[in-house]
Structure 1
Amino acid sequence: MHAGTRRHTTRLIPAALAAGLLLTACGTGAGSSTAAEPAAKVTVTPAGGNSAAKLGSPISVKADGGKLTAVEVKDDKGAKVPGRLAADGASWTSESKVRPKTTYTVRTEAKSTGGKESKATATFTTEQPEKINKLTNTPGNGQTVGTGMPISILFDHPIATDRRAEIEKALKVTSQPHVEGAWGWVKDWSGKDRIDWRPKDYWPAGTKVSVRGGLGGINSGDSGYFARDYDFDFTIGADHKAVIDVPSHTLTMYADGKPVGTIRGSAGSPQDPTRGGVHTVRSKNAAETMDSSTIGHGNEWMLDSKWVTHLTASGTFLHSAPWNQSIGVVNNSHGCFGMTTSDAKRIYDFLPIGSTVEVKNTTSTKKTDVGNGLEVWQENWQQWQQRSALK
């Protein structure tokens, strides 16, 4: 009986060992299957290589046979490149296009459909274009300006007509409070291309404005590209305006829509009448030499003036005219509005850059071109909207 029991136990032990080996074998088999599972194939575009990557496209990352779990892209200055991961995790695309002569590092993490995780790093460098297109923005960052101020962007190099819509889309204006407005393409007095944004109506005093130009990597045409983005902010100051009534020889100052003072002066003569419409103060000089050759009058005069407020680029100014013995009596200037030195200082201090000066009842029939200064108010809202490349 005892011996029989011992034989029975001997038979049970090998059975138990056999069961344990079977589990181990199953576990090893599963591990071998995972090891054999291919990792997701991650492709980065533009691709690295011996030649520089072409411009004009965003950075694209795709995963075949799985999905992306993390993507980090940095440029050669260490700045992160923002982008969006698709809902299914199969692709990632940068929000902007690649910039000229820049090295990018792309780090990815992915998981295959079978669960295998993988990491990879890729680098590429973009080409240097023939031209880098830069811009000059008005107002300047942090500036406080008048209620008629447009946003004006002047380009170093010409902008091809077929590139304007994309550039315009990349320029964003936000304000607090919200103000309706639109971009319009302009030929600057210098001959360069320009794009301006003007509100439908004048800015409310105190408005905070931000401009974001996501231009980096965009083709501007004629072998030119933008190398970076542009961001700037400005504030709308007090609501100061002026109105010139030519026949009565007067300039009336307005603050918050109410008259606060009148100045007598002399506008343009019948031969050179002051241009009409709403002008925008574009710049100011405390002292300046009036040179007749700059407005097509040869070498007729060279006169020193103080407290000069510039309206048009072609030479319509508000300024002191101490040489004029008929100020406030006769309109005898060559298109400017001349005043006594003290009155010129008064209006110089009252009108900030970006404020408006409306000229009424002039005999001038010349239409001032929008690019002749910051003359966006020479057109009505409907006319201005036609200047957009997105109309």
Structure 2
Amino acid sequence: MRKRVTALLLAGLVLAGCSAEVQSGSAKPEGGDKPPVAKFTTAPADGATEVPVNQPVTVTVAEGTIDEVTLTNPEGKAVEGKVAADKKTWSSAEALGYGKSYTYAGKATGTDGKKVELKGAFTTVTPASVVRATLFPADDQTVGVAVPIMVQFDAEVTDRAAAEKALTVTNSANVKGSWAWLNAKEVHYRPEAYWPANTKVHVEAKLYGVHYGGGAYGKADVTSDFTIGRNQVVKIETGSHQLVVQRDGQTVATYPASFGKDDDPELTTPNGTFVVMQKDAQWSFDNPRYGYTNVLKKWAVRFSNHGEFIHENNDNAGNIGRVNSSHGCANLLEADAKAYYDSALIGDPVEVTGSITTLPAQYDWYDWQIPWAQWQTMSAL
């Protein structure tokens, strides 16, 4: 009996030893073998290629909060970014570069208290070509009430709608206008009627990263802040032999003039609403077809790329105010030409009537020769 009892006691001690190891094993924190609950989501995804450069990068964590996030460019520099107040999202705050690889890194703490790490990378799009755009009027210019806003591209734009969507115009007068494509490399904006005087205008062309089609992308964003000046309109009724300057609808100057020949459709000053494009204290006029080159005239104000100017021509003084004898320009006496020149702004309208010829809408800047209803159809949107 003693041997059997001893054996039972020994067996009991062995069993007690196995139970202690199990108990020791069960002393680990509950759920210690479960994966962390926090999960990172990135846009673009890890491994993505051909990523647009003009869209923000975002990192989001579910069931946790972000401790830190870094997006690094190939040069090892961190891309600017910010974690939201709720620590659920990080967003980049600067544009990416073309054809570059970026690397994600970060940490988050889950609602279970466990840490998770972010790792990944993506590559941005590599353009077949990069297209530059310029914007007119430029910053701080004061221009006339007929000025069009112009965006010019150094290559043809296939996807005009994509480019136009990146263009916005705001102004202090809350005047609405429309963009119109004059050709594949140039889009203009104007209101239905002349700009109100003294309007402040802001233009944004957020073209960097915009795909124009065929692998061509925008090179850079461009902006402009300019001012519409006083309302000054030149009115030319060719049969009157006078050039009239009006401000706010009131005549402020009347100058005797000689316009283009009345009976020659090639030489008359044509009908239309034109825009002052250029001012030069002296300009060289050339027209070999009519036998003159390098004829210098003072106070030249161009209002059409067809070749029309308002300028001094004292050599034609006998006809000024009496007979239309020029080759299409408005000839003034020197003192009058200087007075008008000093008053003119780029963008002032020049309205011509009474001619036997109406110029087709094809010589810059011809924006106001296109009826408003037609102008709106020239938008890509």
Coarse TM-score class (shorter-chain normalised): 0.7 to 0.9
Kept in 1, the 8 Å contact 2:70–2:78? The answer is no
Deviation track 1:21-79 (CA, whole Å, cap 9, x = no partner) reads x9xx77x5247257x32541434426569xx7455773554658657758776877877
Task: Check the 8 A contact 1:46/1:53 in 2, yes or no.
Answer: no
Matched AA of 2:152: L
Partner of 1:346: 339
RMSD of aligned C-alpha atoms? 3.5
Q: Which residue of 2 aligns with 1:388?
A: 379
With over 3 angstroms needed to count, the CA separation of the structure-2 counterparts of 1:360 and 1:109, relative to structure 1, is: farther
**2: CA distance, partners of 1:267 / 1:212:** 40
Q: Which amino acid aligns with 1:135?
A: A
Q: How many residues are paired up?
A: 350
Cα distance in structure 2, aligned partners of 1:202 and 1:79: 44
Which of the numbers 168, 173, 176 marks the counterpart of 1:180? 176
Name the counterpart of 1:150: 148
Output the TM-score relative to the length of structure 1.
0.77
Aligned to 2:39: 40
Q: Does the 8 A contact of 2:79 with 2:94 survive in 1?
A: no
1:262 and 2:259 matched: no
The residue matched to 2:283 in structure 1 has which SS?
strand
Q: Distance in 1 between matches of 2:332 and 2:367?
A: 26
Q: Please identify, of 149-158 and 199-208, the stretch whose mean Cα deviation from structure 2 is larger.
A: 199-208
Cα displacement string for residues 140-172 of structure 1 (whole angstroms, at most 9, x for unaligned residues): 111111111111111100011xx1111111101
The AA in structure 1 aligned to 2:165 is K
Shift of 1:380: 2.1
Q: Partner amino acid for 1:58? A: Q
Query: Counterparts of 2:168 and 2:69 in 1: how far apart (Å)?
Result: 27
1:180-259 to 2 correspondence within 5 Å?
A: 180-187=176-183, 193-259=185-251
Question: Which one-letter code corresponds to 2:324 in the other structure?
Answer: N
1:14 aligned residue: none
Query: What per-residue deviation string (whole Å, max 9, x for no partner) do you get for residues 308-353 of structure 1?
Result: 1111122111111122131221111111111112111111111200
- Seen in structure 2, the aligned counterparts of structure 1 residues 314 and 95 have a Cα distance that, compared at 3 Å, is farther
CA distance in 1, matches of 2:121, 2:220: 20
Distance 2:78 2:175 in 1: 36
With normalisation by structure 2, the TM-score equals 0.79
**Percent identical across equivalent pairs?**
32
Cα distance per residue 1:236-258 (max 9 Å; x no partner): 11111110110011111111221
CA distance in 2, matches of 1:197, 1:167: 13
Partner letter of residue 29 of structure 1?
A: P
For the Cα contact (< 8 Å) 1:99–1:227, is it kept in 2?
no
Q: Is the 8 A contact 1:97 1:218 kept in 2?
A: no
Structure 2: which 5+ residue stretches go unaligned? 1-22
Unaligned runs of 5+ in 1: 1-21
Inter-partner Cα distance in structure 2 for 1:146 and 1:58: 37
Cα 1:174/1:110, change in 2 over 3 Å: farther
CA distance in 2, matches of 1:94, 1:62: 9
Q: Distance in 1 between matches of 2:334 and 2:42?
A: 71
Structure 2 residue corresponding to 1:378, chosen from 356, 359, 369: 369
Which residue in 1 is equivalent to 2:350?
A: 357
Paired AA for residue 353 in structure 1: I
- CA distance, structure 1, for counterparts of residue 368 and residue 192 of structure 2: 10
Work out whether residues 61 and 108 of structure 2, in 8 Å CA contact, stay in contact via their aligned partners in 1. no
Partner of 1:126: 124
Which one of the candidate residues 283, 300, 304 is aligned to 1:312?
304
Query: How far, CA to CA, are the matches of 1:356 and 1:124 in structure 2?
Result: 52
Q: CA deviation at 1:213?
A: 1.2
